[in-house]
Amino acid sequence: MKKEDCYFLGKITRRHGLQGNVFLKLDTDQPEMYNRLESLFLDINGLLVPFFIAKQSWSKGDTLIISFKNATEALIEQSLGKDAYLPLSTLPKLTGNKFYYHEVIGYEIREADGKSCGNIVSVNDQTAQHYFILDFAGKEIIVPIIKDWIIELNREEKFLKMDLPEGLMDVFLVPSKKDE
Confidence of residue 66 (pLDDT cuts 50, 70, 90): very high
Over residues 116-159, the pLDDT tens digits come to 999 999 999 888 999 999 998 888 888 999 999 999 999 999 99
Contact 166, 178 (CB under 8 A): no
Torsion of CA 128, 153, 30, 125, to 10 degrees: -30
Helices (H) and strands (E) in the chain, counts: 2, 13
Over residues 98-112, the pLDDT tens digits come to 998 888 999 999 999
- Predicted TM-score of the model (pTM): 0.70
Task: Map out the domains of the chain with their CATH numbers.
Answer: 3-90 (2.40.30.60), 101-179 (2.30.30.240)
pLDDT beyond 80 at 168 = no
- Continuous segment of H or E residues that includes residue 76: helix 73-79
